[in-house]
Amino acid sequence: MAPIEPGARVAVITGASRGLGAMLGGFLAGEGYDLIITARDGAPLRERAERWQRDFRVRVDAIAGNVADPEHRAEIERAARRARRVDVLVNNASELGPTPLSALIDASPSAFADVMAVNLVAPIAIVRVLRPWLARSSGLVVNVSSDAARGGYPGWGVYGASKAALDLASSTLAAELRADGISVVAVDPGDMRTDMAQRAFGDADLSGRPPPEATLPFWAWLFAQPPERLSGRRFEAQAEAWEVPA
């Protein structure tokens, strides 16, 4: 593949219609990235695309669909082919599973399958279809994890297992794709006030939790680093400091 031509950087963000994904979309658009954004709910996705195009004068390709659907992933690849590069891929789309959350021992095989399809299989599959374009740009893959991957919290077993598996997949991909010039990290954004958290906790008052914007200092730092220095690491976005290997 020929070297990339000078031009706008391109970011692909899944689950970009609300919450963390929407915050990251607005941040990267403000940094001058053209965007390829996806989410299941097309209306808010298109609204954000129109706003970012107007406010930041960037190109935004909004593709509604489920990342677990191979045809949707093919649409993402076609958008990347049109853009001719992918500098950043944020695998943010996540599936919580049935609510109210059940004990791990009581979780159904279908619940496992649905959560794993979105939280583990889809991120790996998206990296696979975007691999040529990430390699062309020496791109960075960010897989959004969770403290549930390590916490062993009652009721969070299915979701937590999927994120723990994603952590392992991230470090494995980092090792396997190093020769392609592709860097891969996992990021635990920490507790936030989001629609998914509200679904998980029902009627609980989550007003004391920080909004996704509270993690902006971390993301500004992350995207300013040489990706190859970060690859294979797992970060906590709300930690007091972030370390980089010497």
Q: Mind telling me the catalytic residues?
A: 159
Q: How would DSSP label each residue in the chain?
A: -PPPPSS--EEEEES-SSHHHHHHHHHHHHTT-EEEEEES-HHHHHHHHHHHHHHH---EEEEES-TTSHHHHHHHHHHHHHHT--SEEEE------SSS---GGG--HHHHHHHHIIIIIHHHHHHHHHHHHHHHTT-EEEEE--THHHH--TT-HHHHHHHHHHHHHHHHHHHHSGGGT-EEEEEE--S---HHHHHHHTT---TTSPPGGGGHHHHHHHHHS-HHHHTT-EEETTSS------
Q: Compute the CA torsion angle 112, 189, 23, 88 (nearest 10 deg).
A: -80
